[in-house]
A and B are shown apart, each in its own frame.
Chain A
Amino acid sequence: MNDWLKLHGRHRELRATGGSSIQDIRRVLQLLTRRKHAALSLLNRFTNRKNVEAARREWHIAAPQDAKQEEKKEWSEPLQNLDPSVSEARLTLLALTDESDVRLSQLTIMLSGKRATGDSFAVAAHLDDCHKGMGACGHALFHCHVGPDLSTTPKVRVPLPALRPAAALEWVLSVVLPNWEPVPWSQVVAHFARKRV
């Protein structure tokens, strides 16, 4: 089996079972608030709505109560204490699961903002709900857009490994937050040293 088919198989597995780890996202959000990169209220604003008839649940970050009305529908969370090369970054977090959070139909973890130079940037990890583009290489089910925005051509869609939602969020955050490293090399070395014993 070639590498793309293997990767596609793992992405399908992620869609089949990845919803069961949606709640792990709270662990990352907790760290984000504890380190003062986001408002404390973010924890309770990562919430869900469900369509009972379709047994479908949508996860999103709800706007704080004092947000402007026009911002509420497309709310993205402002992040603070950013890398010096970044002047502004906002986090959008969306997921679509079944009612019991087993199947992960769709996932979006998106950062958009401005560099210190004033140029815009976007980083967006997407797990698609259907086949898009021509195939599993050019448009892998789970991929990441990187560029000034989401539509500038050529569109860069970097295929992602089948990271579960919390790990994908950790990676996206590592792009803009200084000293944000969930697995520092010292921990990696210690882990493999223990395994050797």
Chain B
Amino acid sequence: MSNPVASIANAIDRDGGDGIVVVYYPDFGVREWLVREVESIAGAEKSVRTDSTRKAHARPDALVLLLPANERAVVEELDGMRDQFLEPKRKYPVVLFLLREGDGARALREAPSLASWIRGSDPDPERLAEVDVEAERRAFEAEVGSSPEEWLERWRANKLPMDTGTVVLSYRAALLERR
């Protein structure tokens, strides 16, 4: 699957949406955006942000966005808390945000209980969203006969017809454009 939005939605919907989901982020600059993205995709009536497993457990009525300052410590805590999280039944999952290849992600590989609890509900949506720029540029040139920059130059000068196909192509070219 290469649809980052669907990867988040599927992870949240799994098991009726009452489990725990891990969402990886590539760097802190994108984390806040990704948190809002998860909130928006989940469409929960209530959502709370916290850095504490205790507070996450105390809000089974809400989508919990767990944003730990110490990711390793929170992973280790959660690893021993599965039974506690089974009752009361949650309405929405806890979404734990972990830095890709960070300390928390490494700790998760050493936490068998938590890993089995998550059971694959651990998308890395930003990785799925990434395009292979060089491959896409080659495909664009093969299809259109010019580079994204050359095509955009004509497009911006109103030298190309405007229809659904060219409008769509203009976004594809702009995504790949070198500036």
A residues adjacent to B (C-beta < 8 A) = 23, 26, 30, 43-54, 56-58, 60, 62, 73-74, 76, 92, 94, 96, 99-101, 105-106, 108, 110, 112, 124, 129-130, 132-133, 149-151
CA distance A130 to B153 in the complex (A): 11
Encoded as 1 (CB less than 8 Å from any A CB) or 0, chain B from 64 to 106 comes to 0000000000000000000000000000000000000000000
Indicate which residue in A23, A101, A106, A133 contacts B171 across the interface (CB closer than 8 Å): A106
Which residues of the other chain, B, contact A100 by a CB distance below 8 angstroms?
29-30, 32-33
CA distance A51 to B135 in the complex (A): 12
Which residues of the other chain, A, contact B36 by a CB distance below 8 angstroms?
23
Contact B171 A96 (CB under 8 A): yes
Contact B167 A94 (CB under 8 A): yes
B44 in contact (CB, < 8 A)? no
Known contacts A46-B5, A54-B179: does B131 contact A92 (CB below 8 Å)?
no
CA distance A56 to B36 in the complex (A): 18
Contact A54 B167 (CB under 8 A): no
The tally of CB-CB contacts under 8 A between chains A and B is: 102
Contact A51 B131 (CB under 8 A): yes
Known contacts A30-B43, A49-B131, A50-B129: does B174 contact A58 (CB below 8 Å)?
yes
Contact B168 A151 (CB under 8 A): no
Contact A58 B3 (CB under 8 A): no
Encoded as 1 (CB less than 8 Å from any A CB) or 0, chain B from 36 to 72 comes to 1100110100000000000000000000000000000
Contact A58 B171 (CB under 8 A): yes
CA distance A92 to B167 in the complex (A): 10
Known contacts A43-B9, A150-B162: does B129 contact A48 (CB below 8 Å)?
yes
15 new A-B contacts, CB < 8 A, other than A26-B40, A129-B174, are: A23-B40, A26-B43, A44-B41, A49-B131, A51-B133, A54-B178, A56-B174, A58-B174, A60-B171, A62-B3, A76-B164, A92-B168, A94-B167, A108-B171, A110-B167
Identify which of A45, A49, A74, A100 gathers the most chain B CB atoms within 10 Å of its CB: A49
Q: How many residues of B contact A (CB 8 A)?
A: 37
Residue of B nearest to A108 (CB): B167
Nearest chain A CB to B97's CB is how many angstroms away?
A: 15
Which residues of the other chain, B, contact A44 by a CB distance below 8 angstroms?
3, 5-6, 9, 41
Contact B163 A96 (CB under 8 A): no
CA distance A105 to B130 in the complex (A): 19
Contact A105 B162 (CB under 8 A): no
CA distance A182 to B4 in the complex (A): 29
B116 in contact (CB, < 8 A)? no
CA distance A47 to B1 in the complex (A): 12
Contact B30 A112 (CB under 8 A): no
Contact B174 A96 (CB under 8 A): yes
B156 in contact (CB, < 8 A)? yes
Identify which of B30, B168, B170 gathers the most chain A CB atoms within 10 Å of its CB: B168
Which residues of the other chain, A, contact B174 by a CB distance below 8 angstroms?
56, 58, 96, 105-106, 129
CA distance A129 to B175 in the complex (A): 12
Which residues of the other chain, B, contact A130 by a CB distance below 8 angstroms?
156
Residue of A nearest to B27 (CB): A99
Mark out the residues of chain B between 1 and 41 whose CB falls within 8 Å of any chain A CB in the assembled complex.
3-6, 9, 29-30, 32-33, 36-37, 40-41
B126 in contact (CB, < 8 A)? yes
